[in-house]
A and B are shown apart, each in its own frame.
Chain A
Amino acid sequence: MITDEARAWAQQTYPDYVFDVGRRDIIKYAHAIGETDPVHFDAAAAHEAGYSDIVAPPFFPYVIRMHAAHLVPRDELAPDGSATADVPPVGATRAMAGEIHMELGAPVVAGDVITVKKRILEMYEKEGRSGNLVFVKMEFTFLNQQGDLVAREEFTRIYR
């Protein structure tokens, strides 16, 4: 499944992605996951807790990288809704989430401008029960406008 074309694909470099964190982005996500702490909704409560504005729940970097991948013109989405640019040319169309490792640094607050750096760490093939699987391991580094590390994430997607 991993051809020279796929190996070349895995060598590509990605431009940085910049995400302006709005209050509404945080509030939507916080409601979606059932958070109730007012620091995610109310600037006064966030100030009282020592934040400059409403603060995002810890998994918010995931929201940022989903936008980086999927907030693209409609014709850049694959038939399954994933971003065409993220699908390796390995002849597999079904994707599953593999292991995720995330380290968190500075909190994300409304008004932050987060820069995401993405690279592919490795791509490899394994024999599965119903044919071969291709593993694509990516790294995302999230920095805020001060250059502080907000998060670093390693994420493996499995194609079959």
Chain B
Amino acid sequence: MTTELPIVTRTPDAVDLFLFSASSWLIHRIHYDLPFTTENDGHPGLLIHGPLQGTYMVQAAQRFLGRAAKLRSITYRHLAPAYMGDSLECGGTVSDPVEGSVEAELWIRKADGTVTTTGTATFEVQP
């Protein structure tokens, strides 16, 4: 049996992108320098960090599973870029616990339906 996660929508703004770059000491310009990002990399906007999206996916599952659930492993990949201003809907499904472990299928999609990131994660839960 699997259960659908309630969708959590995150819309990171310039402050969120700054805080993520600053706290992780990530200096890549595509997350804060718009002229560079459009002219050098050909993107229409500032990119939302891949690991920030990975974090959002984990948080959406964690909110459902509770604080006691512990992330044990995750594999995720990016299928399309997400830009500042995009609303990211974080959802997926989680399995029933089997021997203290829950498998989650996670995704992030934009309001227009474009899936930006998908992943699978394993959480340890209290039996």
Q: Are A94 and B40 in contact (CB under 8 A)?
A: yes
Q: Are B28 and A58 in contact (CB under 8 A)?
A: no
A81-B74 contact in complex given A34-B59, A59-B58, A97-B50, C-beta closer than 8 Å: no
Q: Are B19 and A37 in contact (CB under 8 A)?
A: no
Closest chain A CB from B18 CB (angstroms): 9
Q: Are B72 and A104 in contact (CB under 8 A)?
A: yes
Measured between beta carbons, the chain B residues less than 8 angstroms from A96 are: 78
Q: Quick one: closest B residue to A65, CB to CB?
A: B24
A100-B27 contact in complex given A33-B52, A58-B71, C-beta closer than 8 Å: no
- Asked if A82 is at the interface (CB within 8 A of a chain B CB), the reply is yes
Measured CA separation A34–B19 after assembly (Å): 10
What DSSP secondary structure best describes chain A's contact surface?
mixed
Q: Are A29 and B78 in contact (CB under 8 A)?
A: no
Q: Are A99 and B24 in contact (CB under 8 A)?
A: no
Closest chain B CB from A34 CB (angstroms): 7
Q: Quick one: closest B residue to A130, CB to CB?
A: B42
Residues of B bordering A, CB below 8 Å:
16, 19-20, 22-30, 33, 36, 40-41, 50-52, 54-55, 58-59, 67, 70-78
Residues of A bordering B, CB below 8 Å:
25, 28-29, 31-35, 37, 39, 57-59, 62-63, 66-67, 70-71, 77, 80-82, 93-104
